[in-house]
């Protein structure tokens, strides 16, 4: 009986020692966790005063440059190209000669048609004389007699063929219709001109358009006349200013709306160039905070404010954003007030009610 009591006493003593050690470990663990969340040394933070201000809204989209003025130029007759005076990328002035065909056959054709027309004029005069009218006083001859003389002599037909030959000769030379840049010129001299394809394109570079899309939800944020900044992906250091010129009032199947903006590229924007478009607009009376003031806690947006030397977190709902700032929506319902000191740096590892030290 005494042996049993002794064993029982020893077992109890062992259990008590184990429980004591476990409690000490648990207490040490909890203390360590609290010290991790709430450090003894205050976190140094910088703050800003929460107040209404102007928000510079920025809507960013991708688009393409489109020439507002361009012309595809064709040779209308299949003759050999005699000479090409320009090359791709070269600037030309209105009326400048671009290329010309070999005009030997065209000159001969025009000469033949001119002779045929003169012959028809002589025959028409003979008809008028036969009808008893003086051909030199053509204006006084009745219209029906004139028409009879023209038909019998073949004058109308000869005149049409002569004008067509004269027109073909004139079309053997391509002239720039306006100031611009030569593009899509691939033919070579001494080769046959292709009559079904454009010889080249002249692109007016004085004014270009940018074609881009915005989401249907972003449509209320833009209007015709809003300023835009266009930045080519090939040269991010050289943006160009422009303004929205038109908004197509149709939403496509993807919920997008096409928008165009005029931009002066100074001759450095090319037709079809890929660009980034930033539409900027100032909105007054917005509660604006830096993006650095917002952190995530459990997947939700949180902002810290300083109260009595402690960081107190507030759940927030952000609205519009640009590269550096957010606007706050329903900020009063989130428990925010104007004049609160919002922590904007040093908040990444902050916990609720953590002591903080505000620095300049």
Instruction: Give the domain CATH number at 240.
Output: 2.40.30.170
* Domain hosting residue 335, numbered range: 38-55+286-358
Q: Where are the alpha helices (DSSP H) in 179-328?
A: none
Q: Answer whether residue 268 is part of any domain.
A: yes
Tell whether 292 and 345 lie within a shared domain.
yes
CA 358 to chain centre: 44
Tell whether 277 and 210 lie within a shared domain.
yes
Global pTM value: 0.55
Q: What is the pLDDT along the chain (360 residues), one digit of tens a residue?
A: 444 444 444 444 444 544 454 554 444 444 343 344 455 678 889 999 999 998 888 888 999 999 888 899 999 888 899 999 999 989 999 999 999 999 888 889 889 998 998 998 888 888 888 888 887 777 778 888 888 888 888 888 999 999 888 888 888 899 999 988 999 999 999 999 888 889 999 998 777 899 999 999 888 888 898 889 999 988 666 788 999 999 999 999 999 999 999 998 777 888 888 999 988 878 888 899 999 999 998 889 999 999 999 999 899 999 888 888 999 988 888 889 999 999 999 998 888 889 998 987
Q: Answer whether residue 85 is part of any domain.
A: no
Tell whether 269 and 292 lie within a shared domain.
no
Tokens of 357: 């030290």
Host H or E run for residue 274: strand 274-290
Q: Answer whether residue 293 is part of any domain.
A: yes
Tokens of 206: 């004085």
Domain boundary among 255, 283, 311: 283
Q: Answer whether residue 24 is part of any domain.
A: no
Interaxial angle between packed helices 155-170 and 104-130, expressed in degrees from 0 to 180 and rounded to the nearest 10: 160
Domain count, the chain: 3
Place of tokens 């980034």: 276
The closest alpha carbon to 146, from 156, 159, 161, belongs to 156
Tell whether 313 and 165 lie within a shared domain.
no
Q: Answer whether residue 48 is part of any domain.
A: yes
Tell whether 267 and 308 lie within a shared domain.
no
Q: Answer whether residue 308 is part of any domain.
A: yes
Tell whether 112 and 260 lie within a shared domain.
no
Tell whether 270 and 235 lie within a shared domain.
yes
Distance CA 335, CA 331 (A): 7
Domain boundary among 128, 153, 171: 171
Domain boundary among 254, 283, 312: 283
Q: Angle at the Cα of 347 (from 343 to 350), degrees rounded to 5?
A: 120
Extract long-range pairs of 244-252: CB within 8 Å, 24+ residues apart. 244/279, 245/209, 247/219, 247/222, 247/223, 251/216
Tell whether 306 and 242 lie within a shared domain.
no
Q: Answer whether residue 133 is part of any domain.
A: yes
* 191 phi and psi angles, rounded to 5 deg: -115, 160
Tell whether 292 and 328 lie within a shared domain.
yes
Q: Answer whether residue 344 is part of any domain.
A: yes
Q: Are 46 and 344 in contact (CB under 8 A)?
A: yes
Tell whether 292 and 354 lie within a shared domain.
yes
Tell whether 224 and 267 lie within a shared domain.
yes
We report the CATH number of the domain holding residue 306 as 2.40.420.20
């Amino acid at each position: 009986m005494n042996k049993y009591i002794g064993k029982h006493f020893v077992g109890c003593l062992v259990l008590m020692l184990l429980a004591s050690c476990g409690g000490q470990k648990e207490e040490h663990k909890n203390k360590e966790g609290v010290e991790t969340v709430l450090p003894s040394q205050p976190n140094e933070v910088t703050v800003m005063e929460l107040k209404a201000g102007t928000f510079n809204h920025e809507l960013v989209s991708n688009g393409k440059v489109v020439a507002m003025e361009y012309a595809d130029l064709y040779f209308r007759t299949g003759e050999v190209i005699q000479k090409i005076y320009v090359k791709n990328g070269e600037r030309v002035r209105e009326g400048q000669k671009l290329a010309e065909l070999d005009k030997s056959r065209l000159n001969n054709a025009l000469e033949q048609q001119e002779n045929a027309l003169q012959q028809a004029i002589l025959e028409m005069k003979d008809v008028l004389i036969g009808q008893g009218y003086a051909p030199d006083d053509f204006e006084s001859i009745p219209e029906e007699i004139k028409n009879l003389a023209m038909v019998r002599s073949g004058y109308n037909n000869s005149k049409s063929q002569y004008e067509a030959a004269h027109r073909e000769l004139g079309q053997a030379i391509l002239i720039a219709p306006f100031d611009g840049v030569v593009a899509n010129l691939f033919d070579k001299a001494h080769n046959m001109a292709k009559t079904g394809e454009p010889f080249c394109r002249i692109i007016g570079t004085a004014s270009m358009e940018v074609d881009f899309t915005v989401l249907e939800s972003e449509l209320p944020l833009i209007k015709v006349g809003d300023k835009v900044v266009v930045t080519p992906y090939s040269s991010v250091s050289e943006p160009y200013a422009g303004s929205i010129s038109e908004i197509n009032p149709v939403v496509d199947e993807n919920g997008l709306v096409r928008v165009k903006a005029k931009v002066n590229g100074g001759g450095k924007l090319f037709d079809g160039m890929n660009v980034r478009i930033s539409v900027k607009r100032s909105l007054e009376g917005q509660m604006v905070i830096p993006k650095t003031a917002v952190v995530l806690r459990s997947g939700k947006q949180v902002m810290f404010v300083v109260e009595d030397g402690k960081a107190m977190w507030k759940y927030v709902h952000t609205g519009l954003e640009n590269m550096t700032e957010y606007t706050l929506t329903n900020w009063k319902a989130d428990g925010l007030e104007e004049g609160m000191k919002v922590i904007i740096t040093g908040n990444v590892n902050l916990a609720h009610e953590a002591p903080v030290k505000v620095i300049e």
